[in-house]
């Protein structure tokens, strides 16, 4: 049961000794001010069965469980209480010579233990507050674990979609294009070759994304390796030049621009360059790719002289499903860029280029000159 510092704490005492209940009420009342708690409304029951029934109501924040209650001995009371996962922390109360039993109770599932013979208000309140706080932390961790399992399940599903549906579909397209290639004239064959090239690229990208999903669902991290930026950018620039007539792509990337990334870096950069062509009139469009090297980072800019992006979209453009007001796309591409750059330990931002178009700036960790991770 959640509570804040200015709310009462509701402890449940499971003890068949009325005198024990009176002592604990006295301590809780007289020392509440030390822990910024207005009051503690202690309820006492005399059996484990009554205690288990009481916690099912959701009324109590903590159980103070006497290990010698009723006809139980040793840790029997605790074992019986923990048969149901009620989510309420337990503080075990042992007799004066029961410290060893108390320590074993903690190992069995109690949050803490108190020795009745040396009990005072300060120890009681600390045990209660810490037990409640630790239980809240446990529940938060369990909630995060459940969410991670749900995310892994979703990623496993998308991995299966990539493996079966998308790959199968692309292979069908590629196969049909290969059949057409030998039955068309030279001019039409150029279009077929473009289909084959893009099919190969999409199949390759799908395999790479599957590898990322596999590593995430299996709890592994993708290895970052030194990657020379210049040949990666040059290869993507050549591909983008072939997307449409009238597109100019200029590249200025120094040879010493080596970053920590993986084999998906080309797809990340190519995605940004492809966006510039797809979201603008390609006739006369210029895409400019430049890089600068600092001590620990490499900054890469992909800029164009197209229509640009509304300033209101700069901050949200990389969110999943966002594709910009001028786009009919799904928004997956830019979200993919953002996710991958984050795994590299870098960042990406959108803005306006000097020519008034769009600019995407990637800051990536630089690999040292020896080719090792820094």
Q: Map out the domains of the chain as residue ranges.
A: 11-144, 150-217, 225-365
Mean per-residue pLDDT of the chain: 81
Q: Are 189 and 181 in contact (CB under 8 A)?
A: yes
**SS3 state at 282:** coil
pLDDT at 358 over 60: yes
- The mean pLDDT value for 43-66 works out to 87
- State the alpha helices, DSSP H only, in 219-361: 229-241, 265-278, 332-344
The pLDDT, as a whole number, for residue 214 is: 67
Matching CATH number, 225-365, of 3.30.565.10, 1.20.59.10, 3.20.20.140, 3.40.50.300: 3.30.565.10
- Sorting pLDDT into bands at 50, 70 and 90, what band is 290? very high
**Can you give the pLDDT at residue 302?**
97
Q: Classify residue 201 by burial, with Cβ atoms within 10 Å: 0-12, 13-18, 19+.
A: middle
Task: Please tell me the distance from the alpha carbon of residue 9 to that of residue 2, in angstroms, as a whole number.
Answer: 10
Contact (CB, 8 A) for 111 and 91: yes
Say which residue the tokens 């290990």 belong to: 67
- Give the model's pLDDT for residue 255: 94
Give the mean model confidence (pLDDT) for residues 318-346.
66
Q: Which CATH architecture has domain 11-144?
A: 3-Layer(aba) Sandwich (3.40)
């Amino acid at each position: 049961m959640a509570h804040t510092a200015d709310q009462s704490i509701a402890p449940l005492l499971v003890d068949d000794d009325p005198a024990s209940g009176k002592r604990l009420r006295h301590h809780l009342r007289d020392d509440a001010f030390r822990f910024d708690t207005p009051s503690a409304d202690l309820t006492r029951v005399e059996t484990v069965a009554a205690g288990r029934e009481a916690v099912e109501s959701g009324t109590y924040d903590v159980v103070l469980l006497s290990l010698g209650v009723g006809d139980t001995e040793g840790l029997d009371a605790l074992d019986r209480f923990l048969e149901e996962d009620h989510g309420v922390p337990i503080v075990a109360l042992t007799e004066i010579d029961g410290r060893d039993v108390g320590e074993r109770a903690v190992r069995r599932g109690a949050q803490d233990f108190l020795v009745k013979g040396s009990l005072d208000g300060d120890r009681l309140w600390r045990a209660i507050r810490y037990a409640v706080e630790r239980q809240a932390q446990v529940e938060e961790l369990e909630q995060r674990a459940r969410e991670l399992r749900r995310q892994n399940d979703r990623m496993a599903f998308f991995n299966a979609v990539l493996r079966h549906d998308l790959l199968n579909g692309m292979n069908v397209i590629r196969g049909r294009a290969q059949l057409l290639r030998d039955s068309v004239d030279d001019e039409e064959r150029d279009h077929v070759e473009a289909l084959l090239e893009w099919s190969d690229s999409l199949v390759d990208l799908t395999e790479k994304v599957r590898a990322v999903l596999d590593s995430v669902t299996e709890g592994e991290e993708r290895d970052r390796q030194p990657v020379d930026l210049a040949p990666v950018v040059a290869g993507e620039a050549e591909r983008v030049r072939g997307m449409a007539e009238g597109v100019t792509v200029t590249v200025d990337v120094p040879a010493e621009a080596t970053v920590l990334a993986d084999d998906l870096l080309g797809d990340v950069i190519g995605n940004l360059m492809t966006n510039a062509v797809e979201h603008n009139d390609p006739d006369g469009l210029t895409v400019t790719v430049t890089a600068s090297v600092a001590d620990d980072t490499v900054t890469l800019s992909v800029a164009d002289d197209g229509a640009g992006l509304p300033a209101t979209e700069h901050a949200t453009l990389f969110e999943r499903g966002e594709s910009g007001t001028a786009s009919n796309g799904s928004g997956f591409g830019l979200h993919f860029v953002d996710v991958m750059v984050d795994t590299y330990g870098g960042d990406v931002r959108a803005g306006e280029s000097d020519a008034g178009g769009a600019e995407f700036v990637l800051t990536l960790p630089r690999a040292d000159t020896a080719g090792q991770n820094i």
